[in-house]
């Protein structure tokens, strides 16, 4: 007769309930913010969250959606992932309405889940998309809350997941960064608990969210090799196969327009971002404030690189998957030279969100609160943009 499973400890069960409650509260808070923006800034048109620009107009096949198009701008990344959700297999030539189809379609996790959630029905894909994004928000908060309770903090600390740039921006503009941010939190949680198959599931999905998810795969492989776990390293290497197969499919159906992403000169991209920030006008108080928050965010990223390097040196004989992956993120940042990434903290903040989250989580685990400082330094830039909605919301709510 099989042994009966033991009921969970009351304290553990209570922690899980609190984590679920915090995750639910975070999703409701995000949905409320979206509702207010849509209602009072986009005239009730939820497609405004995709931030579609006139320079990349929607495909004619989506005319029935009455997509809100902002005049005289290029728009933002969410519009392209929206197109990918409607045409994931590149059969309707939606890639012709995209700035860089090869990159956009490689990041298929959220668009693909939206397509599958709608069962391929064009009518319901947007609705599914608006479910998938909060779904990853729920996972990210729940996993971070679970991590915090494991280390003696209140589950409500998991709501800090909302502060990560890739999360906040995804909520506002429907980008795909929230998926990798959530998976990065799960990656740290399962790595700490040494739950190999849960960790494998996370790293299997991560590269399909963004290409940088491959660094999570590499982190697991490096940690396994460091422990002389040869079979485990081989197993984790297979997590990159779905990404490789999908990338090959996308490569065969799109034209190259990627430009230069990497440089052999370290700090070349970061320096270009700093130079662009210094060249911005800073005469009016608003311009001075914009200059300040951009500068603080860039210093925060540099601090994250410095902290990670220091931790890697201090713990060089005890490097786990998270430490390895964080170190690889540092190497990526040092040689990443694409000007579009480093031009604004709204871009590099999204790209570096996993690193910022991991540092904050290590700060929680080791009670080294200074490790959360890089994340805190990027938040003002995001908050400054969100604040631009407040006058319209005030007028709309009060009727002033």
Tokens in use for 345?
């903290």
pLDDT in tens, 234-264: 999 999 999 999 999 999 999 876 666 777 7
Indicate whether 1 belongs to any domain.
no
Give the dihedral of Cα atoms 309, 314, 320, 325; nearest 10 deg.
0
Residue 29 burial by CB count (10 A; 0-12/13-18/19+): exposed, middle or buried? middle
Cα(186)–Cα(147) distance, integer angstroms: 9
Indicate whether 6 belongs to any domain.
no
Indicate whether 355 belongs to any domain.
yes
pLDDT at 10: 62
Residues 6+ apart with CB under 8 A from 288: 282
Cα(273)–Cα(197) distance, integer angstroms: 39
Enclosing H/E stretch for 69: strand 69-70
302 closest CA partner among 323, 265, 271, 278: 271
Residue-by-residue DSSP string for 215-253: HHHHHHHHHHHHTT-HHHHHHHHGGGHHHHHHHHHHHHH
Indicate whether 146 belongs to any domain.
yes
pLDDT in tens, 11-49: 777 889 999 999 999 999 999 999 999 999 999 999 999
Give the dihedral of Cα atoms 146, 346, 83, 114; nearest 10 deg.
10
**HSE on the CB side for 128, CA within 13 Å?**
21
Cα(352)–Cα(348) distance, integer angstroms: 6
CB 197 within 8 Å of CB 236: no
Q: What's the DSSP call for residue 89? A: T
Number of domains within the chain: 1
Indicate whether 2 belongs to any domain.
no
pTM: 0.93
**HSE on the CB side for 397, CA within 13 Å?**
11
- Ramachandran category for residue 45: left, alpha or beta (phi over 0 → left; psi -120 to 50 → alpha): beta
Whole-number percent of the chain with pLDDT over 90: 76
pLDDT in tens, 172-212: 999 999 999 999 999 999 999 999 999 999 999 999 999 99
Cα(28)–Cα(118) distance, integer angstroms: 22
Indicate whether 252 belongs to any domain.
yes
pLDDT in tens, 42-80: 999 999 999 999 999 999 999 999 999 999 898 999 999
Indicate whether 114 belongs to any domain.
yes
Task: State which residues form the domain around 394.
Answer: 11-398
Indicate whether 5 belongs to any domain.
no
From residue 167, alpha-carbon distances to 131, 303, 318, 353, 354 in Å are 15, 20, 30, 8, 10
pLDDT at 1: 34
């Amino acid at each position: 007769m099989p042994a009966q499973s033991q009921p969970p400890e009351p304290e553990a069960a209570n922690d899980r309930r609190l984590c679920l409650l915090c995750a639910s509260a975070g999703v409701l808070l995000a949905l409320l913010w979206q509702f207010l923006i849509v209602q009072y800034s986009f005239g009730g048109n939820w497609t405004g969250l995709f931030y579609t620009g006139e320079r990349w107009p929607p495909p004619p096949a989506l005319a029935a959606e009455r997509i809100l198009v902002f005049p005289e701008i290029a728009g933002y990344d969410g519009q392209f992932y929206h197109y990918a959700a409607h045409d994931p297999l590149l059969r309707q030539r939606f890639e012709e309405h995209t700035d860089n189809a090869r990159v956009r379609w490689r990041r298929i996790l959220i668009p693909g889940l939206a397509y599958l959630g709608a069962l391929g029905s064009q009518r319901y894909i947007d609705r599914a998309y608006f479910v998938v994004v909060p779904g990853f928000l729920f996972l990210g908060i729940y996993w971070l809350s679970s991590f915090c309770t494991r280390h003696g903090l209140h589950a409500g600390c998991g709501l800090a997941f909302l502060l990560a740039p890739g999360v906040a921006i995804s909520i506002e503009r429907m980008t795909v960064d929230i998926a990798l941010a959530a998976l990065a939190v799960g990656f740290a949680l399962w790595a700490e608990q040494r739950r190999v198959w849960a960790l494998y599931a996370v790293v299997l999905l991560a590269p399909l969210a963004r290409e940088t998810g491959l660094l999570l795969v590499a982190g697991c492989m490096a940690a396994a090799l460091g422990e002389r776990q040869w079979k485990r390293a081989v197993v984790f290497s297979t997590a990159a196969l779905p990404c490789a197969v999908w990338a090959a499919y996308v490569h065969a159906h799109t034209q190259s327009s990627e430009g230069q992403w990497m440089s052999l000169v370290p700090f070349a991209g970061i320096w270009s971002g700093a130079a662009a920030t210094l060249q911005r006008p800073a005469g009016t108080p608003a311009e001075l404030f914009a200059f300040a928050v951009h500068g603080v965010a860039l210093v925060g990223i540099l601090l994250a690189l410095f902290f990670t390097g220091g931790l890697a040196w201090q713990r060089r004989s005890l490097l786990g998957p998270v430490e390895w992956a964080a170190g690889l993120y540092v190497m990526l940042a040092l040689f990443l030279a694409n000007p579009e990434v480093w031009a604004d903290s709204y871009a590099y903040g999204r790209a570096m969100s996993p690193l910022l989250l991991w540092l904050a989580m290590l700060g929680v685990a080791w009670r080294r609160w200074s490790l959360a400082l890089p994340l805190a330094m990027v938040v003002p830039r995001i908050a400054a943009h969100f604040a631009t909605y407040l006058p319209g919301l005030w007028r709309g709510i009060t009727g002033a």
